Structure 1
Amino acid sequence: MKTKFFLIIAPLALAAAFLLTMTGGEAAAPQEKPYERASSADDQEGVSVTVYNSNLGLVKEIRRLTLPEGVTELKFSDVAGHIMPQTVHIVSLADPAGLNVLEQNYEYDLLSPQKLLDKFVGKEIKVVRDGVEVPITILSTNGGIVYRMGDRIFTDHPGKLIFPGLPENLLPNPTLVWRLENQITRPQKVEATYLTGGMSWKSDYVAVLDKEDQKIDLTGWVTLDNRSGATFKNAKLKLVAGDVHRVLDQYGPYEGLRKLEAAEAKPASAPFKEESFFEYHLYSLQRPTTLKDNQTKQVALLTANQVPVKKRFLYYGAQHFYRTQYGMPITNQKIGVYVELANTKENRLGMPLPKGTLRVYKADSDGSLQFIGEDQIDHTP
């Protein structure tokens, strides 16, 4: 009976083991490696940049891509070096539901001579000595190079180094890497939007006062500073005037919202077209422009000639302030000289003016312009 019992159980155990092996083998099968695709600025079909007053820019970029169906790893390069990765948004303009983001990474381990050396610590490379390639092993790069040549250890720089290749995880530029699930096999336009630091703008105004101090020729300039780490070619440029509220511990000092009144825009022939947007003013440049990295660019904001002004003399005579310690009035207080203008269409203006510095010039007796003063103006509706 024991023999029969053993003979019956053994085949069942073997069958169970076989089933477990088959099932376990299927579960442990490695996942297929996703397709890999790379996209650079060469795929770009359009880019728009919105610049704020507070070291902030919003970039919206459209690229044409052809992705395989299924899971794909997309390396999206040529983005701003000061990108805020947590603000990135990507969507397919052809079919938003057909492209889903599974993972997102921001790769900023950038290629440099030092980084390249660091990646080859413990590995063999070659150095050129007297025209001959000699193998060496990098032992350390902390504070200098330590390497082995033959059975001896050296610490000086060995000379011209030859590497067998580039490590896979070193990139020439900051790159966004997405793991995408794609259902669209035809070419599609993809829109990526993100915030970046390193961008700001300000306004400057130049006023030339006439001989009678009754009219000025006014020119406004927008000065843009791009230190974002990227160049934006033929970009649609927009400027936001107003102080955008941002979270203190994430982006920088608190800056409260500034409420601006709506006002009538200048005609579309102006370099910038103004419109009210939420509680701000939005200025759109009426032509594309290129914003190079590490560049300061000036763009004309407005030009108005023969604008009527009034010259005023103001004396602030608060008695409790303008007295000496003996109670006697101070008699040598200076009188302020102000030039006042009205921002109206009748005065050839009418567009809300962003805050900035206004500098005033006037011609002397021989016609040479002389600088006579400057002042700050706030956002002026």
Structure 2
Amino acid sequence: MGRSRTRQWQTRIPRDLRHAVLSRAMRWALSILAIGALFSAPTAAREIVEASAPQDVSVTVYRNPDRSADEAMERDWPQGFAMISEARTVTLPAGQSTIRFEGVAEGMVAVSAIVTGLPGGTIEKNRNADLLSPAALLDGTLGNRVRITRTNPGTGVETTESGVVRTRADGGLVLQTRDGYEAVRCSGVPERLSFDRVPDGLSSKPIFSIDTQDEAGGTYQVTLTYLAWGFDWEAHYVATLKDESARGAVTMRLMSWLTLLNDNGQGFPNAELLAIAGTLNVESDFEGLSDPPTARPLRLTCYPLGSTAAGTPIYRYENQNDKFAGGMVRRQSAPAPVMMESMSDIVVTGAALSQPAMVAKEEQLGDLKLYRIPEKVDVSANSLKQVAFLNKENVSGEFIYTARCNPYGDFGDALSPAQMVFETVNDEEHGLGVAMPMGGFTMFEPTIAGELLVNEQSLRDHAVGQDVEIGLGDSSAVFSECAQDGDIDPDAKRNWIPMRAKLSNANEHAVTVRLAIGQAGEWEIRTGRNKPRLKNGEQTVELTVPANDTRDFRWKLRRPKSYFSAE
């Protein structure tokens, strides 16, 4: 009975259906096995590709955006940055690979880096944190064999054996040799290590790497562009007076130099060099983002030698720099990179103002100014470079004298020296007509003893069309004294206050004195025929003082109604 039921159940399932079910089950099992094999198989390592050396380089330097006109560039700690663009060649295999760009700036802001020209784009980008150094070399050899050579201090004979590095470089150096474990360079015997090769990934130059993918492989021209910290630039103007008329009008030759600073340990030979002038709004902390790689020193930790019977040595301090005597040597910090001679202060005299070999060309870049060096130059590591960007033979202007008055002072026994100012207009009519970025200003005057320095000053940014005023210090020949000609409280009522200024000129020619007689909006002024002119927020009058003579000037002022209503 059982057999017939079994036979009857089997006859109810068609043979085609049984095959279909079994086939589907087999396919499902094979799929599971394939997926398991996929996850269990190790990921194929990316092939490392070395990019070629830069074939074309562009360095665009931005000055410190927080530096004011009267601040000099910090040559020991520059706060500007640069945009660096390098054209390189890479040959990629089929599939995924890692491209290494060796020799990037140590101040590279890695998050700003962009690589163009790759068919597969960028999958991931990295920057090495270690440079080739004793500590990095030791850490990269951990668990591998090295050779240790010892020198017998008595005979000078060297013996060499191999050992396996068993510790990292941050606490001591221990090797495993045939005699067991031993601390290296702790016995006082001269010892040195020899390595067969440099561990993978270590380089004496900073490296930036990216992961990419190319289905077919091939050779490509790529461009690496990034921002880098540790650059800056400043301008300096050198003026040489030519002649001066009896009325104070002068003509001078004006030349300006761009001084560009690269504080990185990497140079950029045969580079296109540009400088950007103007005020940028920079929110990012480029200094913190740059995080330059370091060459870590080897730190050895050794147990003290000798015995307790010898006592504890007493160390003597030779000076405040913690340099120990008594056989103990203070650990010296790594010396700073040797700077080129150009890092010392640069003094430009009139004798050096011959025609420059090349002059930077000015271009417009939005609201900024771009100065392009016409020829490719070497931007050396840890160095300064000077390039002329302005060379004007005949800049016309005039010397005037300025004085300031207020109703709160009294006439005294001594006159105050007037301020001497050189004035011109930044336009072609006056021999200029170019943007003038902020920087230092040095003026020389020809004498029978040669060209002598007469003034040093700072200059703010000046756009085309703006008035240019350069203060030259106190005059030794023009003086002024100013006070109210009465005894009235200027802030008590709206009374007119009589004012008087006394001006004297000891020059052999007449001079112009610009007298500031009240802040605009704070005083109402009556000057008679000499109508005041608004200049830099002050009401001023210009007065001519004859040679070897004096001049008095009188006017009235009072507070406006708005002054009392505000109270």
Bin for the TM-score computed over the shorter chain: 0.7 to 0.9
Inter-partner Cα distance in structure 2 for 1:18 and 1:242: 68
How much is the aligned-residue C-alpha RMSD, in angstroms? 3.0
Q: Provide closer, same or farther for how the CA distance between residues 72 and 121 of structure 1 changes in structure 2, counting only shifts above 3 A.
A: closer
2:418 aligned to 325, 335, 339, which one? 335
User: Does the alignment pair 1:234 with 2:270?
Assistant: yes
Residue 341 of structure 1 aligns with an amino acid whose one-letter code is: T
Is 1:210 aligned to 2:246, yes or no?
no
Query: Does the 8 Å contact 1:231/1:290 carry over to 2?
Result: yes
Contact 1:145 1:156 in 2 (8 A): no
Q: Residue 41 of structure 2 is aligned with which of 29, 36, 40?
A: 29
User: 1:103 and 2:115 equivalent?
Assistant: no
Which of residues 346, 352, 369 is equivalent to 2:429? 346
Structure 1 residues 76, 370: CA separation in 2 closer, same or farther (over 3 Å shift)? Answer: same
Structure 1 residues 303 and 18, CA, compared in 2 at 3 Å: closer, same or farther? closer
Larger radius of gyration: 2
Q: Secondary structure at the match of 1:133?
A: strand
Q: Give how far 1:369 is off.
A: 1.9
Contact 2:361 2:389 in 1 (8 A): no
Show the counterpart of 1:72: 97
Q: Distance in 2 between matches of 1:23 and 1:115?
A: 40
* 2:62 is equivalent to residue 52 of structure 1: yes
Match of 1:132 among 155, 159, 164: 159
Q: CA deviation at 1:210?
A: 2.7
Which residue of structure 1 aligns with residue 395 of structure 2? 307
Q: Closer, same or farther in 2 for the Cα pair 1:241/1:151, shift >3 Å?
A: same
Distance across 2 between alignment mates of 1:187 and 1:120: 34
CA deviation map 1:168-221 (0-9, x unaligned): 132221111111012564432111110000111100011112353711111100
Conserved? CA contact 2:146–2:164, under 8 Å? yes
Q: CA deviation at 1:25?
A: 1.8
Q: Does 1:370 align with 2:370?
A: no
Q: Is the 8 A contact 2:371 2:389 kept in 1?
A: no
Q: Tell me, yes or no, if structure 1 residue 318 matches structure 2 residue 339.
A: no
Picking from 355, 369, 389, the partner of 1:281 is 369
The residue type equivalent to 2:440 in the other structure is T
Report the secondary structure of 2:384's partner residue.
strand
- Code of the residue aligned with 2:283 in structure 1: it is V
Q: Distance in 2 between matches of 1:279 and 1:104?
A: 33
Q: Provide TM-score, normalisation by structure 1.
A: 0.80
| 8 A Cα contact 2:397 2:430, kept in partner | no
Confirm whether residue 291 of structure 1 aligns to residue 379 of structure 2.
Answer: yes
Partner of 1:262: none
Structure 2's unaligned 5+ residue stretches are: 7-21, 65-79, 151-156, 289-356, 464-567
* 2:350 alignment counterpart: none
2:429 aligned counterpart, secondary structure? helix
- In the aligned structure 2, how far is the partner of 1:29 from the partner of 1:328? 97
Identify the match of residue 223 of structure 2 among 168, 180, 191: 191
Structure 1 alignment gaps of length 5 or more: 5-10, 253-268
The question of 1:245 aligning with 2:327 is answered no
Q: Which runs of structure 1 show a deviation greater than 6 angstroms over 4 or more consecutive aligned residues?
A: 14-19
Letter in 1 for 2:395: V
Equivalent residues of 1:121, 1:141 under 8 A apart: no
Contact persistence 1:110–1:172 (CA under 8 A):
yes
Given that 2:358 and 2:388 are in contact with CA atoms closer than 8 Å, whether structure 1 keeps it comes out as no
* TM-score, with length taken from structure 2: 0.55
Which residue does the alignment assign to 1:255? Answer: none
Cα drift, residue 251 of structure 1 = 5.2
Q: 2:218, 2:29 → 1: CA distance?
A: 47
Matched length: 345
Cα deviation, residue 156, structure 1: 4.3
Q: Distance in 2 between matches of 1:111 and 1:104?
A: 20
In structure 2, the residue corresponding to 1:359 is in which secondary structure? strand
Q: Per-residue CA shift, 1:38-75, capped at 9, x if unaligned?
A: 0142xx33111111012110011111222223212111
State the one-letter code of the partner of 2:455.
G
1:379 corresponds to which of 454, 457, 461:
461
Quick one: distance in 1 between partners of 2:52 and 2:265? 15
